[in-house]
Amino acid sequence: MPHEYEIRADYDADSIVVYQAYAPMIALPALETQRFVSPFSFTRMTWIKPSYLWMMHRSGWGKKPGQEHILAIRITRSGWEEALSLGVLTRPDPRIHESEKHWITEFKSAKVNIQWDPEYTIRDLRLDHRSIQMGLTPSIVKSYVNEWILEIKDYTPLTRKIYGLLRAKHVEEAEHYLPSEQVYPVPESIGKRLGMHLK
């Protein structure tokens, strides 16, 4: 039984995969150069998600305007964990913050925003446990783009294949093609800041 707050991801000893969905004008140059380039914005919040199915829920399986291309971005675990260590929840949690004022002070200076949203099944049914979203502010986006990214893959064809199988009601076959995700180990000191390891 998954814990309510738990990071599940495709990762190995050195790296972890996060997902983003973009229009062709951003996705195609990123795939060609293996880094994000203009018109990607370095002055806006950039949200990354390690859950493929949450990305599918958000992008409507790549059908929503501006989210037609699904990118799987493999980044260093050191970068990911640096971001986690800098993360501040997007809303106050009385288990963590002494008061709303305490949270506001932390949130205003946060380099990374952390949001926990409901996870979804392949049939887009809401689950009880949560999936993490990480919002990188402009102060750390350059590190993400220039230092953390190891590889950018186009998961758009895979997404279309899975979606086509779902439309044809071949759910079990569709599940076979889902990226493998396991529980990601988060150091307890970091997890407590993010609402994990708490009752």
Give domain status of residue 98, yes or no.
yes
What are the pLDDT digits (tens) for 16-55?
999 999 999 999 999 999 999 999 999 999 999 999 999 9
Domain assignment present for residue 147? The answer is: yes
Per DSSP, the three-state class of 89 is: strand
Task: Report the pLDDT value the prediction gives residue 93, as an integer from 0 to 100.
Answer: 83
* Per-residue pLDDT reduced to its tens digit, 100-118: 888 888 889 999 999 999 9
> Does residue 184 lie within any of the structural domains?
yes
Domain count, the chain: 1
- Cβ atoms 144, 75 nearer than 8 A: yes
Report yes or no on 114 lying in a domain. Answer: yes
Q: Is residue 110 part of a domain?
A: yes
User: Looking at residue 77, what is its pLDDT?
Assistant: 97
Q: How confident is the model at residue 188 (pLDDT cuts 50, 70, 90)?
A: confident
Q: What is the pLDDT of residue 1?
A: 46
Average pLDDT for 161-184: 97
Domain assignment present for 139: yes
Q: Which residues contact 180 (CB under 8 A, 6 or more apart)?
A: 10
Task: Judge whether 175 lies within some domain.
Answer: yes
55 within some domain: yes
- What whole-number distance in Å separates Cα of residue 89 and Cα of residue 137? 13
> Residue 166: which domain range?
8-193
pLDDT number for residue 95: 80
